[in-house]
Amino acid sequence: MLRQSLLAPLTDEALRRAFIGASAIALGSGPVGVFLMLRRMALMGDTMTHAILPGVAVGFLIAGVDSVAMTIGGLVAGVIVAVLTGIVTRTTHLKEDASLAGFFLIALALGVVILSVGGGDDEIVHVLFGDVAALDGPKLVLIAVVASISLVVLALIWRPLVLECVDPQFLRSVSGAGGPVHIAFLALVVLNLVAAFPVMGTLLAVGLMMLPAVAARFWARDITSMAVVSVGIGIVSAYVGLAAAAALNAKPGPAVILVAGGIYVGSILFGRVGGVVWRAFPGRHLEA
């Protein structure tokens, strides 16, 4: 029985799809999450999940639950909020968090109003928490496309993105790439959240983005290895979480996020880079 559950993400059809989908999400989301964390925008992903809600709701009203229209709607709403936020941040004296807060609250309220007018409680739960069984072929393809786009775009903008984080003034003095790169990055955040929400639900879509990233901070010293570690943690969380969900008959999405959360707490305690245990017992100081 236990053995069956352990292998379930490989043998069970629905769970296998979920594992493949979640792993693909982890590929794109992990590095994006690392950059969000390093730019002190860790809560921004969470905010963006609220921002996609009106688009999801409109898609749901037009084409019903489980539709690709919901995903596309989410994408449109997310991109609109991200671009508006970027423009307001760069052209007014409002900082990013403030301008985002303004837009996401409008979006969230709008989304709930649309859902409450057009749908019932079941649909709301479905949208908020996701459904692994709903992961059909077209959605898997969408997730794969998003993961591919994320990796390619990250590879293209990696250098200016790092520069924009470390020394934005220097980037401005040598190149005008800062603005476009920033907006491309925000678009990646939205894309990855939209890809994740059918599996994880809008509430937890940000889980595979931020938890592996913040956990990776305790295992790696430079940005590149941090991104790689975050992807690994994401994939391991997906597998273990889905197996646990099969064994306990629990909801798979939250189970995956809980496992990622467990790895995060473990990393705080035992992580080689700044973990609590290593800080408590640092060893004798060195000669030089």
Give, rounded to a whole angstrom, the gap between the first and last alpha carbons of the chain.
Answer: 56
Query: Judged by CB, which is closer to another protein: 163, or 245?
Result: 163
Residue type, 82: A
Nearest Cα residue to 195 out of 261, 162, 146? 146
Cα angle 119, 102, 98; round to 5? 145
Which tokens go with 54? Answer: 């009106």
Q: Residues 82, 163, 194, 205: which binds another protein (CB under 8 A)?
A: 163
- Using CB under 8 A as the binding rule, whether residue 272 contacts another protein is answered as no
Part in contact with another protein (CB under 8 A); list of ranges 4-12, 80-88, 93-101, 170-178: 170-178
- Using CB under 8 A as the binding rule, whether residue 270 contacts another protein is answered as no
- Using CB under 8 A as the binding rule, whether residue 223 contacts another protein is answered as yes
- Cα distance between residue 243 and residue 2, in whole Å: 9
Q: How far is the CB of 128 from another protein (least distance, A)?
A: 35
Give the CA distances from residue 219 to residues 28, 201, 224, 243, 268, in Å, rounded to whole numbers and listed in that order.
19, 29, 12, 25, 10
Which tokens go with 280? Answer: 């408590």
Q: How far is the CB of 99 from another protein (least distance, A)?
A: 20
Q: Residues 116, 141, 145, 167: which binds another protein (CB under 8 A)?
A: 167
Query: Judged by CB, which is closer to another protein: 3, or 93?
Result: 93
Query: Judged by CB, which is closer to another protein: 59, or 178?
Result: 178
- Cα distance between residue 18 and residue 27, in whole Å: 14
State which of positions 35-54 bind another protein (CB under 8 A): 38
Whether the CB-CB separation of 139 and 200 falls below 8 Å is answered with no
Cα angle 219, 28, 206; round to 5? 80
Site string for another protein, 183-222 (x = CB under 8 A): -------------------------------------xxx
Q: Residues 145, 170, 270, 272: which binds another protein (CB under 8 A)?
A: 170
- Using CB under 8 A as the binding rule, whether residue 95 contacts another protein is answered as no
Which residues are near another protein by CB under 8 A? 38, 156-157, 159-160, 162-163, 165-170, 172-175, 177, 220-223, 226
